[in-house]
Amino acid sequence: MADYKYATLAVHAGQKPDPQTGAVNVPLYLSSTFELTGIGTDRGWDYSRAGNPTRDKLEEALAALEGGHSGHAFTTGMAALSALFAMLRAGDHLVCGKDVYAGTVRLLDQIVSGYGIEVTYVDSSDLAAVKAAMKPNTKLVHVETPSNPLMVLTDIAAVAEIAHSVGAELSVDNTFLSPALQSPLALGADIVMHSTTKYLNGHSDGLGGVLIGKTEEQKQRFLLVQKAAGAVMSPFECFLVLRGIKTLLVRIRQHEENGQAVAAYLESHPKVTKVAYPGLKSHAQYELAVRQQKGFGSMMSFELADREAAGWFLAAIKIFLNAESLGGVESLASHSATTTHASVTEEQRQQMGINQGRIRLSVGIEDKDDLIADLEQALAAV
Ligand SMILES: Cc1ncc(COP(=O)(O)O)c(C=O)c1O
């Protein structure tokens, strides 16, 4: 399969016809337990927390799409991140990008740090700052690129080199671009994480997360967390993600075409003060986006004058929905300070550069002229 082009992999990796029946879709194995063939012998599965045939196929597909050694599916993106951080022990040090998803910050500050793990937040777009943050006990560097919601990029290859210089691993949350638009493992990262809730599922009808590693050691580590901690993706959610990734590439192409058009429109609007989208030449890291990414995606954020202006805008949109989340076929708009970044303090938001007029868009696959007309009438109401 590895020799096939990406569009072919998306449809066929892990998704061969069922050998028993010829069904072209991976069957849903709704079974918690499996009949054993003897004492200590089985047909490959014994209990679904340890392994389930539907989940196996999704994990195979996702590992292929990221060019990894193994994939491990969890109940949510947060469960995947919890499984990732479970590798850390008291006394270990973790370096985390400073404007990652606020749920990641909440997990680290309110749970992981309680286990005696030291966390340092750093502007991961600043290589000197990343270097300065490294310690002899740094075990993991975790970044999101582009970041949420400011769309700041991290140079994956350069940060991987810094992490490796002290023997740490680099994990990349690749949710915003999907495997179709960025391949962190090929750039030098060690682990890729996704909230499959977003572009991989693609239809806003399921929650899930995945970790993809490069080595057999990581595979055994993540298998242990799946079995021991138990937050594994249900077979039905696996089925939905398997179905979603078959159309990932065609959806992403439309997301991106619409994203480019919406970003250009917003940039030209007098009521919009800033637009953060890596596909705009005005983006400070446009060159890095071209070099590191295979496209620019459809996530962006922009600023209106203040919270009141953001409120008028969100009340007026008709096609865009005022809702959290991203990566589904429908366009969404959200007020960053009170949704994705509600769980951090106002002081942290100010440090991150997220003010009360900041709106994040996940541009869907509707007709782009309709989307722009919707933004036009909503901005007129501001
Ligand atoms: C970039 C990113 N990572 C992780 C998560 C967490 O994923 P989930 O909501 O599936 O737990 C989110 C959720 O919005 C996200 O946007």
pLDDT average, residue stretch 218-230: 98
Structure tokens at 139: 């075990």
Are residues 329 and 303 located together in one domain of the fold?
yes
Taking the C-alpha atoms of residue 40 and residue 186, their distance in angstroms, rounded to an integer, is 39
Residue 325 Cα: closest atom of ligand 1: 14
Are residues 191 and 282 located together in one domain of the fold?
no
Are residues 126 and 49 located together in one domain of the fold?
yes
Are residues 136 and 253 located together in one domain of the fold?
no
N- to C-terminal Cα separation, the chain: 52
Report pLDDT for 341.
Answer: 87
- Give the residues surrounding ligand 1 with Cβ less than 6 Å away: 76-78, 101, 103, 144, 148, 173, 175-176, 195, 197, 207, 209, 325
What tens digit of pLDDT does each residue of 7-22 get?
999 999 999 999 999 9
Under the banding of pLDDT at 50, 70 and 90, the label for residue 346 is confident
Work out the mean pLDDT of the chain and round it to a whole number: 96
Active site residue 139: no
Residue 1 lies in a domain: no
Under the banding of pLDDT at 50, 70 and 90, the label for residue 2 is low
Tally of structural domains, the chain: 2
Are residues 182 and 263 located together in one domain of the fold?
no
Are residues 121 and 193 located together in one domain of the fold?
yes
Structure tokens at 64: 């292929």
| Contact criterion met (CB below 8 Å) for 61 and 72 | no
Report pLDDT for 228.
Answer: 98
The residue count of the chain comes to: 382
Report the CATH number at residue 309: 3.90.1150.10
Residue whose Cα lies nearest atom 7 of ligand 1: it is 77
Nearest to 12 by CA among 4, 367, 20: 4
Are residues 241 and 259 located together in one domain of the fold?
no
Report pLDDT for 127.
Answer: 98
| Residue 6: CB atoms within 10 Å | 15
Cα three-residue angle 114-141-288, rounded to 5 degrees: 145
Q: Is the pLDDT of residue 337 over 90?
A: yes
| Residue 350: CB atoms within 10 Å | 10
| Contact criterion met (CB below 8 Å) for 378 and 313 | yes
Are residues 192 and 302 located together in one domain of the fold?
no
Catalytic residue among 6, 18, 46, 49: 49
Asked which of 15-24, 256-265, 373-382 is least confident by mean pLDDT, the reply is 15-24
Name the burial class of residue 249, with classes exposed (0-12), middle (13-18) and buried (19+) by CB atoms within 10 angstroms of its CB. Answer: buried
Taking the C-alpha atoms of residue 157 and residue 99, their distance in angstroms, rounded to an integer, is 19
Distance 77 CA to ligand 1 centre (A): 5
Catalytic residue among 173, 190, 251, 368: 173
List strands edge to edge, sheet with 138-144.
70-74, 209-213, 191-195, 169-173, 138-144, 93-97, 118-122
Q: Is the pLDDT of residue 351 over 90?
A: no
Catalytic residue among 29, 101, 199, 265: 101
Residue whose Cα lies nearest atom 8 of ligand 1: it is 77
Active site residue 121: no
Active site residue 49: yes
Which of 78, 144, 241, 340 for mutating ligand 1's site (highest number of atoms within 8 Å of CB)?
Answer: 78
DSSP secondary structure letters along 337-355: GGTTTTTS-HHHHHHHT--
Are residues 313 and 242 located together in one domain of the fold?
no
Which amino acid appears at position 218 of this protein? Q
pTM over 0.75: yes
Which of 231, 246, 261 is the C-terminal boundary of a domain?
246
What tens digit of pLDDT does each residue of 107-164 get?
999 999 999 999 999 999 999 999 999 999 999 999 999 998 999 999 999 999 999 9
Report pLDDT for 3.
Answer: 77
Report pLDDT for 272.
Answer: 98
Report pLDDT for 169.
Answer: 98
* Calculated CA dihedral for residues 92, 125, 78, 210, nearest 10 degrees: -100
Which of 198, 210, 237, 360 for mutating ligand 1's site (highest number of atoms within 8 Å of CB)?
Answer: 198
Residue 155 lies in a domain: yes
Report pLDDT for 222.
Answer: 98
Residue 80 Cα: closest atom of ligand 1: 11
Which of 142, 197, 324 for mutating ligand 1's site (highest number of atoms within 8 Å of CB)?
Answer: 197
pLDDT average, residue stretch 234-258: 97
Which residue range(s) make up the domain with 332? 249-380
Report pLDDT for 243.
Answer: 97
What tens digit of pLDDT does each residue of 89-102 get?
999 999 999 989 99
Q: Is the pLDDT of residue 319 over 70?
A: yes
Distance 144 CA to ligand 1 centre (A): 11
Report pLDDT for 144.
Answer: 98
Q: Is the pLDDT of residue 286 over 90?
A: yes
pLDDT average, residue stretch 184-212: 98
Active site residue 198: yes
